[in-house]
Amino acid sequence: MPVYIGKRLLVAIPTLLIISIFVFSLQKLLPGDPILAMAGEERDPATIEFLREKYHLNDPIITQYLSWVGGILVGDFGVSLRTNQPVLELIGQKLPVTIQLAVMAMILAMLIGIPAGILAAVYKNRTLDYVANVVALSGLSIPNFWLGIMLILLVSVNLGWLPASGYESIFVDPVRSLKTMIMPAFVLSTALAAQLMRHTRSAMLGVLSSDYIRTARAKGLSPREVILSHTFRNALLPIITLSALLFGELLGGAVLTEQIFTIPGFGKLTVDAVFTRDYAVVQGIVMCTAIGFIVMNLIADILYVLLNPRLRATL
Amino acid sequence: MTAIEQTAPIAKPRQKSRAWRKMRANRGSMVGMVIIAFFAIIAIAAPILPIADPIATSWSALRKAPSAAHWLGTDDLGRDILSRMIWGARASLMAGVVSVAIAVAIGVPFGLLSGYFGGWVDQVIQRVTEALLAMPFLITAIALAAFLGPSLTNAMIAIGLSAMPVFVRLTRGQVLAVKTEDYVEGARSIGLNHVDIMTRYILPNVFAPIIVQATLTVATAIIAEASLSFLGLGQQAPAPSWGSMLNTAKNFLSQAPWMAMWPGIAIFLVVIGFNLLGDGLRDALDPREA
Amino acid sequence: MKKFATLTAALLASAIMSLPAMASELRIGLNDDADVLDPAQSRTFVGRIVYTAMCDKLVDISQDMKIIPQLATEWNWSEGGTVLTMKIRDGVKFHDGETLDAAAVVATIERNMTLPESRRKSELSSVAKVEASGPLEVKFTLKSPDVTLLAQLSDRAGMIVAPKAAKELGANFGSKPVCAGPFKFVERIQQDRIVLEKFADYWDKDRILVDKITYLPIPDTTVKLANLRSGDLDIAERISASDAESVKSDPNLTYADVIGPGYMAMYVNLANGPRADNPLGKDKRLRQAFSLAIDREAIGQIVFEGTSLAGNQPFPSSSPWFNKDLPVPARDIEKAKQLMKEAGHETLDIELQHANSTTQTQMMQVIQSMVAEAGFNVTLKATEFATLLSEQTAGNYQLSRSDWSGRIDPDGNLHQFVTCKGGINDVKYCNPEVDKLLNEARTSPDETVRKEKYDAAGVILNDDMPIIYLGHQPYAYAISNKVEGFVPSPDGMMRFLGVSKK
C-alpha cells in the first residue's frame, strides 16, 4: 500500500508542475495591467511604478515564475493585489464556505440520487425507470445559473421564504447558515444527484444480474433483503468512488452558483480575481484546487482497492 | 491490393442497421433527435423566417410582456425576444458544435498517439492531460476567454480547449483496448506504417465511444457558452445568444421575468435533447447490451 | 412515529422563526467590495463609503456641497494663498485611545505624501511642508497657491489615522485600521462583509444612534433588493434605475436619490498613439456632429428611467459651476449631418469600446443606433474593465466610454483630464490656453473669479470637444422603513450620524 501511494504521489509532481506553468502563463498573458486595474480612478505614475517593483512585475517572466514556485514550496502563495492579504489566508477564509456548500450539496445529492437509482434499477424499463431517467437528465441539463435565478425569483422575491444571498458559518449561526445555503446547495446537487442516480442504477443492474444474487433469491430471501443487504452493499463500491471524485470536482465547480447567490467562496473569489487581474489569487486557487483534485482522485483509488476484498488481497 | 486491405471494413452493414434499429426503439433518443432537429432547423432557417429583426430596437416597446405583437415579449431595448431566441439558437448551437469539433480535432489525435506509441510519448501526453483535467473546467474556460478577449469565437475556442482533455483520455483508453486485437497485429505484420494502422484500423473501431462522448459534450459546451456569455465573455451585444440574453435578463428579474424564462427553457431543451441522443447512441453502439 | 415527526417539525419551525436578540445593527448592501482599508492606499468608491463611518477627516462637506468643520474647527488662508492654518478640535481620541493632536495630523499628512504605496501623493502635490505650529494647530505651506487643497482634505487625503498603529503596520494598515470616526473597525472578510461598531469615545457621540454597521457587498441588484425586502438589509446603495419604480411602490421601502458630482462621458483619442490618426480624432466638427446626434434626454429615459441628468459639461446642471451659457443641446440630426459634410464625410466608421456591464452595454447600443442616423457606423467593443483601463491609457482606442465619480471641487473634474500634463489625460488633449485658465482657477480663493475661468475653459472645451459628456449618474438608495433619519449626501457617501433603526 505505501508503495502504491508513494508511486502515485511521485507521478503527481510533474502534473502539478505542468499545472503551475499553465496557470502562471495564462495569468501573465491576460491583457490588462493588474496594477492599473487596481488603480481604479486615481493614477499616480510614481506609485504605480513603485507597486510594479514591489510585486516584481517588471522582472523577467522566468524570475517571476521561479520566485512564485519557490514561495509555494515554503508555503508563501503571495498576496492579493487588491487588499494585500496573504493568498493562503484568503483561501483559508473561503475554503470552509465552499466545503460547507459542497458537503451540503453532496448530502442532498445522495439523499435524492441513490434511492432513485436503486428504485430505477429494481423497476428497470418500467415507467418509474423512465421517469427517473428523465428527471435525472433534467438535473444534468438545467443550467445551474438559470435554476439559481429562477429559484431566487420564486423563493426569495415572490415568496420571501429564504434569503437571496449571504453566508453564515454553520458553527456561528446554524439556522441562518442553513437558510442561506440551502438554495445554492440544492442547485449544485441537481447535476450530482443525476449522475449518482444513473451510476447507482447501472451499478445495481450490474450486480442484480450476477450469480450470487440469483442464489440469494433462490434461497428465498425477501426482495427487500436481496436488494438492500446483498445488492446494494456490493454496488456501494463504485458509488463511493464516484462520490469522492465528484466532491473533488465540486470544489472548483461552484463558480456560477456562488456568483449568483453571492456566497463568498472559492468560485466567486476566482472569478472576481480573474476579472481584477489579481493573479496571485487565481494562481493560488488553481494550485490548491488541483492539489485537492489529485488528492481526491488518490483517495478514490485507494478506497476502490481497500473496499474490494478481491483487490485488497492483492495488496 | 492484399486480401487484408480488402476485407477490413469499418462496420459491417448488419452492425450498422442493428444500431439504427435500437436507436429507433429507444423512445428517449428519438425524442432527443426530434428536439435537436427542431432547433437546428429553426436556427438554419432564421434568415428566411418571417420574424422581426433581432437587433432592431424600439424605444416605445421596452420590456413588454408576451402579447400578440410579440409572442415572447420584448427585452430592455425593445427588441423582439422571439426573434432573438431564434437567432440566438444559431449562436448557441454553433458554439456547442464547434467547441466539440475543436476538442475532438485536437484531443483524438493526441489520444491516438498516446495510446498507440506508449512509452515517453504516452507519459508526457498523460501528464499534460492530467494537468488540464485537474484545473476546474469553467475556470480554465473563463481565463482563456478573458485572455483571448470577449467574443463568441474566442468563447468557442476556450471551451474547445478546456474540453479537449476528456477526448485525449477517452481515445487513449480505447486505443489501449484495441491495440492488442488480432487485426492490428495482422496489419503490423504485413508492414503497414503507423499512420495507416492508426487511421484505417484503430480509429474506426474506437469511433463509437468518441461519438457518444462528443454528443454529450455538445450539451456541456452549450451550457458552458451560456455560462461564459452570462459572465460577459461570450457573444457580444447586440448579437443575441441565449447566455448573453440571460446575462441582461438577470437585472430585470422582477420587472420582466419572461426575459429570463425563455432562454433558460431553450437551453434546457436543447441540452436534454443532446443528452437523450447521447444516451441513445451509447445504448445502441454498445456491443455488450444485446 | 407521527408524534415524533410533529415534535421535530415544531422544534424546527420555532428554531427557524426565532431570531437571536441583537443590538441595533444597520446592514448596508454595497454595490461592490472595498479594496484595502487604508485611506492612504484606497482607490475604490465603496472604500470611501466605509471610511465615512470609520475615519473622520479634517473637513467635511454639507448637504449643499460647502466645506464644513469636522476634525478641524476653523481655518484660514494667508495672504497670497500659500499658507493654510487649521485649528484642530480638542478632546478627540483615536479608536485605540491615542489623542488626536496636531502631531498626529502632521504624521498622517506626511504618511500620505511619503508612503511609497500611497495614492494620495498627487492630491497633496501642492504641499511643500506641513508642520504643527501649536499643540492643536497645523500649518500647511504650499509651493504655489492652490485653493483645491481644502477639498482634497475633505476626502481620503484628510482622513487622520492613529500614528502608532500606522507606524506599526505600515502598508498593512488596512488589516486593522485605527481612525477617529464614529464607528471603529471590528472585522473584514474580503467579498463577504465589513463590520464596524460604535466608538463610545467619539467627540460627537450623542449622535451615534446605532451600535453596529455591517457592509455587505452584493453586486447583483435583484439579490440586493430581495435581501432588503426580506429584512436582511436595511439600506441598499446604488440600486439600478429599473428597480426605482418597484421600490417607490413598496409600502415598506423608501426611495431616495441624488445626482452625483460625477459624469458619464466618452473619450476621443486625440493624440494618444497611432490610433489617434482617425478622422474623429483629427476633426472637431466630426466630434461635434457625434455629440449632436445623441438624444441625451432619451438616454436618460430609456436607460435610467428618468433618474439621471442629461449633461454636456463635467458639472451637472444643478451644480453652481455649470456654465449656463452652454445649455445641454437637444438632438439635431440635420446640423450633425451638415457638420459631417463640411468635414468631408458622408459616413464614418468608428470603434467604441466600453465596459461589459449591463448598463453600459445598454447605453452604448442606444447611442449606436442614434448616431447611425447621422451616418456614423459604430462598432461596439465590450471589454472587461481591467482591459478597458489599460487600453485607454495605452491609447489603443478610438472612442472609449469612461465615467468619473466626481469631486466636490470643480478642479477635480477637469484638471487632470484635459491639461497637457494631466495624470488621467488619456485623450492627450493639450491646449495651453485651457492649461492657463485651469491653473489660474486653482489659485484664486474668490469663487466668482474661479467661475469665470471655468466658464472660459468650458467654452473652448465645448468647441474642441476632446471629451463628449453624456450626463450624470444618480446615486439611488432603497431604504427600509425601519431606518430613520437617513438622507443621501450629494457626494454619494453614506453618513450615519443621527440615523437610527426601529
Closest Cβ–Cβ partner in C222, C246, C380 for B250:
C222
Is residue C261 within 8 Å of residue C65, measured between CB atoms? Answer: yes
> Would A116 be classed as within a structural domain?
yes
Is residue C272 within 8 Å of residue C426, measured between CB atoms? Answer: yes
Of C33, C51, C27, C50, which is closest to residue C479 (Cα–Cα)?
Answer: C27
| The three grid cell numbers given for residue C402, joined into one nine-digit string | 469612461
**CB atoms C36 and A277 under 8 Å:** no
> Would A241 be classed as within a structural domain?
yes
B233/chain A closest Cα distance in angstroms: 11
Q: What is the DSSP code string of C338-385? A: HHHHHTT-S-EEEEEEEE--HHHHHHHHHHHHHHHTTTEEEEEEEE-H
Looking at residue B257, its pLDDT comes to: 85
Of residues C54 and A149, more confidently modeled:
C54
> Would A17 be classed as within a structural domain?
no
Q: Which residues of B touch A282 (CB under 8 A)?
A: 143
> Would A54 be classed as within a structural domain?
no
In tens, the pLDDT along C311-339 reads 999 999 888 899 999 999 999 999 999 99
Looking at residue B9, its pLDDT comes to: 44
Is residue A262 within 8 Å of residue A254, measured between CB atoms? Answer: no
Reported as a pLDDT band with limits 50, 70 and 90, residue C49 is: very high
Could you give the percent of chain C with pLDDT greater than 90?
Answer: 55
- State whether residue C246 sits within 8 Å of chain B by CB: yes
Mean pLDDT of C261-284: 89
Q: Which residues of B touch A18 (CB under 8 A)?
A: 127-128, 131
Pairwise CA distance, residues C496 & C485, whole Å = 8
Looking at residue A311, its pLDDT comes to: 65
Mean pLDDT of C444-473: 91
> Would A82 be classed as within a structural domain?
no
- Residue C197 phi, psi dihedral angles, 5° rounding: -130, 165
Is residue A227's pLDDT more than 70?
Answer: no
B86/chain C closest Cα distance in angstroms: 20
C373/chain B closest Cα distance in angstroms: 13
Q: Which residues of A touch C33 (CB under 8 A)?
A: 272
Of residues B243 and C198, more confidently modeled:
C198
In tens, the pLDDT along C64-120 reads 888 999 999 999 988 788 899 999 999 999 999 999 999 999 999 999 999 888 888
Is residue C311 within 8 Å of residue C260, measured between CB atoms? Answer: no
- The least confident of C70-79, C208-217, C377-386 is C377-386
Of residues A97 and B13, more confidently modeled:
A97
Give the chains touching B; criterion: ≥3 Cβ pairs < 8 Å: A, C
- The least confident of A21-35, A229-243, C439-453 is A229-243
Give the chains touching A; criterion: ≥3 Cβ pairs < 8 Å: B, C
Beta bridge partners of C60: C68
**CB atoms C242 and B252 under 8 Å:** yes
Q: What is the DSSP code string of A28-81? A: HHSSS-HHHHHHTT---HHHHHHHHHHTTTTS-HHHHHHHHHHHHHTT---B-T
Environment class of A113 (CB within 10 Å of its CB; exposed 0-12, middle 13-18, buried 19+): buried
Q: Are strands C25-30 and C212-217 parallel, antiparallel or unpaired?
A: parallel
Average pLDDT, chain C: 88
| The three grid cell numbers given for residue C490, joined into one nine-digit string | 450629494
**CB atoms B267 and A289 under 8 Å:** no
Closest Cβ–Cβ partner in C222, C385, C389 for A157:
C222
CA of residue B30 relative to chain centroid, distance: 18
Of A220, A281, A291, A271, which is closest to residue A77 (Cα–Cα)?
Answer: A281
Of residues B197 and C16, more confidently modeled:
B197
Reported as a pLDDT band with limits 50, 70 and 90, residue C26 is: very high
In tens, the pLDDT along C222-248 reads 888 888 888 889 999 988 888 888 899
Along the 290 residues of chain B, how does pLDDT read in single tens digits?
444 444 444 545 555 666 677 766 677 788 888 999 999 999 898 888 888 888 777 777 788 888 877 888 888 888 888 888 999 999 899 999 999 999 999 999 999 888 888 888 888 898 888 888 877 777 788 878 777 777 888 889 989 998 899 899 888 888 887 777 777 777 777 877 777 777 777 777 778 888 888 998 999 899 888 888 888 788 877 788 898 888 888 888 878 888 888 999 999 999 999 988 888 887 777 655 43
Pairwise CA distance, residues C94 & B143, whole Å = 44
Of C22, C25, C48, which is closest to residue C35 (Cα–Cα)?
Answer: C48
Pairwise CA distance, residues B3 & A304, whole Å = 46
Helices (H), C23-84: 45-54
> Would A282 be classed as within a structural domain?
yes
Mutation target among A50, A83, A167 for the C interface, most CBs of C within 10 A:
A83
- State whether residue C372 sits within 8 Å of chain B by CB: no
- Residue C317 phi, psi dihedral angles, 5° rounding: -65, -15
Looking at residue A195, its pLDDT comes to: 83
Q: What is the DSSP code string of A69-138? A: HHHHHTT---B-TTT--BHHHHHHHHHHHHHHHHHHHHHHHHHHHHHHHHHHHHTTTSHHHHHHHHHHHH
Environment class of C262 (CB within 10 Å of its CB; exposed 0-12, middle 13-18, buried 19+): buried
Looking at residue B287, its pLDDT comes to: 58
Q: Which of A81-85, B257-261, C49-53, C439-443 has the highest mean pLDDT?
A: C49-53
Q: Kindly report whether the peptide bond that precedes residue A143 is cis, defined as omega within 30 degrees of 0.
A: no
- Please give the residue range of the domain that contains residue A215: 87-311
Cα angle: C183, vertex C186, C191; to 5 degrees: 105
Mean pLDDT of C12-28: 64
How far lies B149's CA from each of A197, B102, B142, B156, C382, in Å?
A: 39, 18, 10, 12, 9
Looking at residue B8, its pLDDT comes to: 43
The verdict on ipTM greater than 0.90 is: no
Describe the crossing of helices C358-372 and C296-304 by its angle, rounded to 10 degrees: 150
Pairwise CA distance, residues C237 & C253, whole Å = 13
Is residue A301's pLDDT more than 80?
Answer: no
Q: Which residues of B touch C368 (CB under 8 A)?
A: 238
Beta bridge partners of C69: C59
A279/chain C closest Cα distance in angstroms: 12
Looking at residue A73, its pLDDT comes to: 83
- State whether residue C119 sits within 8 Å of chain A by CB: yes
Integer-rounded Cα radius of gyration of chain B: 22
Looking at residue C367, its pLDDT comes to: 92
Q: What is the CATH number of the domain that holds A217?
A: 1.10.3720.10
**CB atoms C222 and B254 under 8 Å:** yes
- The least confident of A33-42, A143-152, C136-145 is A33-42
How far lies B15's CA from each of B20, C359, C377, in Å?
A: 9, 57, 57
Reported as a pLDDT band with limits 50, 70 and 90, residue A175 is: confident
Q: Which amino acid is at C116?
A: P
State how many domains chain A has.
1
> Would A36 be classed as within a structural domain?
no
DSSP for residue A209: T
Give the chains touching C; criterion: ≥3 Cβ pairs < 8 Å: A, B
**CB atoms B130 and A15 under 8 Å:** yes
Q: Which residues of C touch A31 (CB under 8 A)?
A: 387, 390
Looking at residue B6, its pLDDT comes to: 43
Is residue B115 within 8 Å of residue B174, measured between CB atoms? Answer: yes
> Would A220 be classed as within a structural domain?
yes
| The three grid cell numbers given for residue B130, joined into one nine-digit string | 492530467
**CB atoms B253 and C380 under 8 Å:** no
Is residue C44's pLDDT more than 50?
Answer: yes
Of residues C44 and C264, more confidently modeled:
C264
